[in-house]
Amino acid sequence: MDEVIQVTQWLSSITPRKKAKLFFFTTHADAPSPMVGSNDVDTHEETQLPLATTVALHNFKNIDEFLKKKVNTFSCYNVIENEITKTDYEYLRFYSACKYLDVVPPFLDLEKISAIQNKFEMTDEERDYRLLLDSADLVLEKVCDSLKPAGVSQMWTALRKDRNLIRGVKTIDIIGFFVDPSPTGIKECLFFFIVRFLQKADKINRVNTNRLERLIAQCDESSSCEEGKTIDFTIDSLRFYPTELYPFGFCLIMCVIEGRDGAMQEIEKTMEISRHLGMITHTEKNPTKETIELVKKESMKPKYQFYSSFTCWFMSHGDSNSMVLADGETIEREWFLTSFPDISTFQLKPKVFFMVSCRGANKFSLKGDEFEGQSATCDYYDIGSALIRNRMLDITDSVRDISYVQPMMDTLVAYSTILDHLSGRANAHGSIYVDRACVLMSENISRGRSLTEILEHLSQDLHEILQETMDEDRIVYKQACHYDSFFRKTLKLPYTRHPKEDVHSAPQ
């Protein structure tokens, strides 16, 4: 069958709502983002113009033409082995969006997709199409689905009132002031136009969504939300880090085994909870400084731009400032913590570090006969209002900026103990902190809990446990853990993932 006919038949089989979503997901690579290269003005116009004309004319002709052009480009594209191109990104985004929406063209060359994935050096686990979807766009899709056409229309009216923001933008004038987003698919096109416009204007990104939240907050709840949804519910969905589909993120486990009883147990526990959370995991046993540098270099590769989060477990001996590596050399803890967050592939994404090591030799000792022989370090231990706001400072958009970000932002560092104190271990079981952290995360999957809630529970749980030193003094003591957070959103634990299964049901 002629390829033109095949493309025409494929487009005719897609509903207007799915066409709008496919366009939105496919143009992610063209939207302002730290993940992708070229962001010139012409590309922005190409991205927004089809949405604007579709809303204004109530037909999908320009979106159809855009999708046809993409398909033709991919059909003629020759995969170059020695470099990753913008088309490579676009091809993978297009394929993953089609797969997600259940509209994969029967004529799409899957061998080219495999060849592109080879260029990215993707493992079998990383070839799951869900990794290639941008989780921030999936959150925005859910926000759109929770709003009625009237709600998106009200957002548009509020946006049009901001003259400083819209002045001189041709695509804004194409749509006009009053719109009717009730025809099927038009609501989606208008909402996605607003999103891409705010991204182009550098007003929102995957972390900074305040400007979009303020537009939604101006909607009338009685007419703007779908049944069962509220304005608060819709806005709240934007206040979590976007980690929608499998995988939840990339997890790096680094563990010094030499001279640390139970270290293999630590690795097994952290690997198990990471898989349970739906992470793709890499383990480094007995790391050296050279190992760390190699891992840092590896994490700069383009494929890591597709991950939604980064987690690192670092388990070793240590003191107040440093950690002991497998070869006996030490590294400054601060150097380690500041080197990874600055990697571009994980910018604007949550980065969590579990630092499991002593930070000194001090102990919060408990004295008295009632504490003798009681500790968890013995072998028997078992795992088992408007008025107020009006008086506040008025922060205008002119003094806000989301372009420049401190490297440590969106990072959380969890310490197994406080400064200058021991981090306890259980004979044969390894770190008690690691054990309790893995247990609590496992117990709270599917309960909608955030990571910081789990860490607060962990702090309470760990501080209840009596521990005992392993020297001849046998001192009973307690351990206190804590965390430092530079988070700008809430990181929720995911629901149980099944990496080998496609548990997704296609959206409408």
Per-residue pLDDT tens over the stretch 379-395: 333 333 455 455 556 77
Per-residue pLDDT for 188 more than 90?
yes
On whether both 68 and 108 belong to a single domain, the answer is yes
Pick from 239, 266, 289: which residue ends a domain? Answer: 239
DSSP 75: H
State residue 390's pLDDT score: 57
Q: Higher model confidence: residue 500 or residue 74?
A: 74
Within-domain flag for 376: no
Which pLDDT value is given to residue 368? 60
Q: How confident is the model at residue 21 (pLDDT cuts 50, 70, 90)?
A: very high
Predicted pLDDT at 505: 42
Report residue 42's pLDDT band, with 50, 70 and 90 as the boundaries: very low
CATH for 279: 3.40.50.1460
pLDDT at 196 over 80: yes
Q: CA-to-CA distance for 341 and 349, rounded, in angstroms?
A: 9
Q: Does any domain span residue 352?
A: yes
- What are the tokens at 456? 């607060």
Which of the pair, 378 or 459, is modelled with greater confidence?
Answer: 459
- The pLDDT, as a whole number, for residue 282 is 95
Q: What is the pLDDT of residue 34?
A: 38
One domain for residues 196 and 260: no
Q: Indicate whether 400 belongs to any domain.
A: no
Q: What is the pLDDT of residues 111-167, one digit of tens each?
A: 999 999 999 999 999 999 999 999 999 999 999 999 999 999 999 999 999 888 888
User: Does 61 have pLDDT greater than 50?
Assistant: yes
pLDDT score of 57: 94
**Contact 23/66 with Cβ under 8 angstroms?**
yes
The answer on 98 and 15 residing in a single domain is yes
Q: For the chain, give the percent of residues with pLDDT over 90.
A: 60
The model's pLDDT over 242-281, given as tens digits with 9 standing for 90+, comes to 987 788 899 999 999 988 989 999 999 999 999 888 899 9
Is 285 domain-assigned?
A: yes
User: How far is Cα 125 from Cα 131, in angstroms, rounded to an integer?
Assistant: 9
Pick 391 or 190 by higher pLDDT. Answer: 190
Of the pLDDT bands very low, low, confident and very high (cuts 50, 70, 90), residue 365 is low
Q: Give the pLDDT confidence score for residue 244 in this predicted structure.
A: 77
- Which residue range(s) make up the domain with 57? 3-28+45-239
Residues 323, 193 within the same domain: no
β strands within 106-206, DSSP E: none
Report the pLDDT averaged over residues 282-293: 95
The mean per-residue pLDDT over the stretch 354-366 comes to: 82
- Give the best-scoring range by mean pLDDT among 186-200, 448-462, 468-482: 186-200
What is the chain's mean pLDDT, rounded?
Answer: 86
Which strand (E) or helix (H) includes residue 140? helix 135-145
Instruction: Please report whether residue 329 resides in a domain.
Output: yes
| Termini Cα distance of the chain | 29
* Residues in a beta bridge with 225: 147
Say yes or no: 185 and 273 in one domain. no
pTM, entire model: 0.84
Residue 372 has pLDDT above 80, yes or no: no
- Return the pLDDT at 447: 79
pLDDT of residue 60: 96
For residue 22, tell me if it sits in a domain. Answer: yes
Q: pLDDT grade, residue 298 (50/70/90)?
A: very high
In a domain, 371, yes or no: no
Residue at 10 is within a domain: yes
Least trusted range by pLDDT, from 25-29, 31-35, 123-127, 249-253:
31-35
Q: What is the largest CA-CA distance in the chain?
A: 88
The answer to whether residues 295 and 319 belong to one domain is: yes
Name the band, by pLDDT with cuts 50, 70 and 90, for residue 45.
Answer: low
Residue 194: pLDDT over 90: yes
The last residue of one of the domains, among 190, 215, 239, is: 239
Q: What is the pLDDT of residue 469?
A: 80
How many whole angstroms separate alpha carbon 337 and alpha carbon 312?
10
Is pLDDT of 29 > 50?
A: no
- If asked whether residues 187 and 319 sit together in one domain, one would say no
Which of residues 188, 214, 239 is at a domain's end? 239
Count: domains in the chain: 2
Same domain for 265 and 232, yes or no, is no
Q: Judge whether residue 323 has pLDDT over 90.
A: yes
Of 208, 199, 175, 203, give the one whose Cα is nearest residue 39.
199
DSSP codes, 282-334: EEEES--HHHHHHHHHHHTSGGGGG-S-EEEEEE--B-SSEEE-TTS-EEEHH
